[in-house]
Structure 1
Amino acid sequence: MNRQPFAILVLLFSLLSISCAGSVWVSSIEDLPLAMQDNKLIVVSPKLLDETLNRLKDKTVVVEFATSWCSICKEIKRPLRKLAAKGQGSFYILQVDVTHEFEPLIKHKMNWAYPGFLIVSPELKEPIRIYGGNKLDALQGWLLAGKERPTVSPMIFGDGKGDLPAKAVLVAGSSEVANFAQEVAFVRGLLVEKGIKAEETSCFYANPDPISYQGDRKQFDELKNFLSDCRPATREEILRTIQKSLSANPETFVLYASSHGQAPQEAPKLEKDEQDCLSRAPALVLDSGRSECDKMNDLTPESIASIIPEGNTSRKVFIFQGCFTGGFISNTDDPKSDPSALAKLPHMTILTASRSDRSSFGCDAGTLTTIYGGAFTHVLLEEKAPLASIPWLDLHKDIANIVDRAEQKIRLRPSSEPQFFQTP
């Protein structure tokens, strides 16, 4: 019997099992040197990720965290493979599937948003974390810039008014795109027109990483002067400022917070010595000052409610722009029977960009604001009443109508359905 054709088939099958259309599967660390020569997307298992990164510690490496159900991950597979082919030894792209294994996300301080990209390089003081397929162009531009690529952001924080009570606290929580910070600048200007002095506002933003800065460079540069007295958007400082401001019991107090939102996460399976650092509550992401335990950094209904002084009589108007922010009112359709910690407090008015189980839209590089943020600033600009007399329910209805029309126009479904809640 001639075994040669059979042997050839076995060889072909073996090659196909480890390499396919621009990607190569590394089943053991011994396969890595050969995979590096192929200039392909390198697919590794969650268990092999850390060892692979250690072997590549003197290289620029991008890790894509993907899941089997992530449609965007599938859409960017081809452009990601093309980008990997351009590396030619100057950078490498790894892909790891975390559908069933969450430990890499926790260990590398990644948000539960897909696709997520972790960028490590000897050129960087610390890793960069970015999210979404819309970041691919900025990532490619940064990688292909070679020695010309920026390694730090030129945005500068100011001292702010940290020791003064504020009548408005404005937060741009995520550094990935400029539109969160743009909304802070817009809302601040509009509140000044409504009678709040500029020095009675406290603003916070997350300094963009070099890749995000490059992706929205023009808009970030235009915002430098508007944000020059803002401080880093860390939870500790934001909550301290809110608490101090409400202790002065102003007639009306406004919190506007815009960022990526996260839905409550189910508890992952952890090793005995690992800490559960995923929030059981809805959260607005704060990129600044992230630590080993991310749920200790992000804004949640509980964290804000816990610092509001007992007996405070200020009319508190809290606006949350981000995915799943309806959870700041309730995680169900009935906030009266299942209110959040914030919705239980008196004198509260809460507006959110979405239902607790829905995404909001528009947090992309190159857009001036998010869809909700743009609608909010437009309606607030048209509102003639002073701050203390604004009919917030009517304002919400106008905002929701604008958002719905905008989402229908570009066929974004399911719709975000902005929410409103008020307590006496």
Structure 2
Amino acid sequence: MSLLRALPAIGLALALTGCGAPLAYSRFVAETPYSTAPLPARAHVFLIAGGSDVANFAAEVAAQRELLRTRGVQADEIACYWAQPTREAFRRDRAQYRRLAAALVDCYPAATAIVREHLARAAASEPPFLYVYVSTHGLSSLLPPDVPKDLLEAPDAAMLDQYALQLAAGPGRGFHPAFLMAARRAGAPTDDLVFSPGMLARALQALPAATPKVVVLQACHAGGFAPALAQVPGLVGLAAARHDRTSFGCDPGPDMTIFGAIYIRLLERRLGEPAALPSLDWHALYKQLQAEVTRAEAAQGATPSLPVLLESAAPEP
């Protein structure tokens, strides 16, 4: 389901519950602050939970960090990011958020500007490889269904009309057009506001061409990132859904998304020690994941998400 189409219902829920929300929410936010520590110099694994309306995105980040640590990746090689939940989200997924609290206390805000800056620092350090996992909501456009004429004709409207992943710790929870436009007019660079295919490709192209890069995007419409990422040398990875399809499990209740749960399980089976992510057989992993996702979605009567293999374009002869 499109997150933009869900905004009226979400907004109404927030308005109805905001004043009466339990104090436990305030305590949870206070006890799980965002990290303000400098990015570790050796960081080259970036685990990002972008959405703020369900706990399953954060659960995928926590599970992968634990898995990678057990396979030899050191704590200072991993950077994690998350978006603190809204009051309504905490109310619906309270038990899961509480279980995750200890795993999130040293994670940075899932804001595009922070992630972009950290990727730039990692690129400057020339790491042995780069791994980026993002689990969140994806949109084919940030423009609302009924676009106000003044917004459509604004000089920076093109910033909104592109594929994007929500990083909800950013301005306007990462996808509200008015907040993003206001930040842009105040001087913020577009690449600090929208987690778009172009932004991610530019960040990855700052690394040496020979550096292996693995990117996994769990989000609706994430396949829309494929053309831009194909221009990044040495890249391989996965997207949870074709550019015109949605992924599933992004609702309160499930511990993880359908794609995320299957991917992490397959990764655990295939990953050796030390964790050499770039040397995995990503084509074989993709085929197995594609088959399992298809079966899981069929069992739920869902429209197939059609996961996508992300890969650099072959060099011209």
TM-score by length of 1: 0.62
Deviation at 1:252, TM superposition (A): 2.0
Cα offsets for 1:277-335 (capped at 9, x unmatched)? 76232111111121521675231111112233163421100000000000010xxxxxx
The alpha-carbon distance between structure 1 residues 219 and 147, as it changes in their structure 2 partners (threshold 3 A), is closer
Deviation at 1:243, TM superposition (A): 1.6
CA distance in 2, matches of 1:321, 1:197: 24
Residue 170 of structure 1 is matched in structure 2 by 47
SS in structure 2 opposite 1:271?
A: helix
Deviation at 1:231, TM superposition (A): 1.0
Alignment of 1:236 onto 2:113? yes
Residues 83 and 169, structure 2, Cα contact 8 Å, conserved in 1 = yes
> How many Å separate the matches in 1 of 2:43 and 2:291?
31
1:280 maps onto 2:161 in alignment:
yes
1:355 and 2:242 matched: yes
- Give a deviation string over 1:181-206, Cα, whole Å, max 9, x none: 00000111222233321221001100
Contact 1:174 1:180 in 2 (8 A): yes
Q: Which amino acid aligns with 1:157?
A: Y
The RMSD of aligned alpha carbons is 2.8
1:94-173 aligned at under 5 Å gives the runs: 113-117=4-8, 130=10, 142=17, 146=20, 148=22, 152=26, 153-154=28-29, 155-173=32-50
Indicate whether 1:417 and 2:302 are aligned.
no
Tell me the SS of whatever aligns to 2:114.
Answer: helix
The one-letter code sitting in structure 1 at the alignment partner of 2:246 is S
The structure that is strand-richer by fraction is: 1
Q: What aligned pairs does 1:272-311 form with structure 2 within 5 A after superposition?
A: 274=154, 276=157, 279-291=160-172, 292-293=179-180, 297-308=193-204, 309=206, 311=208
CA contact (8 A) 2:3 2:137 kept: no
> How many Å separate the matches in 2 of 1:147 and 1:390?
46
2:185 equivalent in structure 1: none
Q: Shift in Å at residue 139 of structure 1?
A: 8.2
Equivalent residue in structure 2 for 1:191, among 49, 68, 78: 68
Whichever structure has more helix as a proportion of its residues is: 2
Match of 2:217 among 312, 320, 326: 320
Letter of the structure 1 residue corresponding to residue 8 of structure 2: F
Provide Cα deviations, 1:133-184, integer angstroms capped at 9, x if missing partner: xx96x987x47x8475767452322335524241200100111000000000
Structure 1 runs of 4+ aligned residues shifted over 6 Å read: none
Comparing 266-275 with 313-322, which one deviates more in the overlay?
266-275
Task: Return the offset for 1:245.
Answer: 1.1
Query: Structure 1: which 5+ residue stretches go unaligned?
Result: 1-71, 73-110, 119-129, 330-338
Q: Could you say which residue in structure 2 is the equivalent of 1:180? A: 57
The alignment covers a number of residue pairs equal to: 287
Please list the CA deviations of residues 230-262 of structure 1 after superposition, one character each: whole Å capped at 9, or x if unmatched.
011111110111121122222221000010000
Give the corresponding residue for 1:377. 264
Per-residue CA distance 1:34-77 (angstroms, 9 max, x = gap)? xxxxxxxxxxxxxxxxxxxxxxxxxxxxxxxxxxxxxx8xxxxx
Distance of aligned partners of 1:161 and 1:114 in 2 relative to their CA distance in 1, 3 Å threshold: same
Q: Distance in 2 between matches of 1:397 and 1:389?
A: 16
Alignment check: 8 A CA contact 1:157 1:231 kept: yes
Identity value in percent: 28
Distance (Å, rounded) in 1 between the aligned partners of 2:63 and 2:279:
20
1:389 matched to 2:279? The reply is: yes
Conserved? CA contact 2:50–2:57, under 8 Å: yes
Distance verdict in 2 for CA 1:179–1:375, change over 3 Å: same
Give the Cα–Cα distance (whole angstroms) in 1 for the partners of residues 282 and 25 of structure 2. Answer: 43
Shift of 1:406: 0.6
* Gaps in structure 2 of 5+ consecutive residues: 173-178, 182-189
Name the residue aligned to 1:209. Answer: 86
The answer to whether the 8 Å contact 1:161/1:202 transfers is: no
Separation of aligned partners in 2, 1:222 and 1:161? 26
Instruction: Pick 1 or 2: higher relative contact order, CA cutoff 8 A, min separation 6.
Output: 2
Give distance in 2, aligned partners of 1:160 and 1:257. Answer: 21
CA distance in 1, matches of 2:33, 2:143: 37
Q: 2:251 corresponds to which residue?
A: 364
- AA aligned to 2:84 is N
Amino acid at match of 1:183: E
Q: Please, what TM-score do these two structures have when normalized by structure 2?
A: 0.81
User: Could you say which residue in structure 2 is the equivalent of 1:271?
Assistant: 150
Q: Report the counterpart of residue 101 of structure 2 in structure 1.
A: 224
Q: 1:271 to 1:393 in 2, by over 3 A?
A: same
Quote the offset at 1:366 in angstroms.
Answer: 1.2
| Structure 1 residues 380 and 112: alpha-carbon distance in aligned structure 2, compared to 1, 3 A threshold | closer
- Structure 1 residues 146 and 224, CA gap change in structure 2 (3 angstroms): closer
Larger radius of gyration: 1
**Deviation of the 1:227 alpha carbon:** 0.9
- Give distance in 2, aligned partners of 1:112 and 1:277: 19
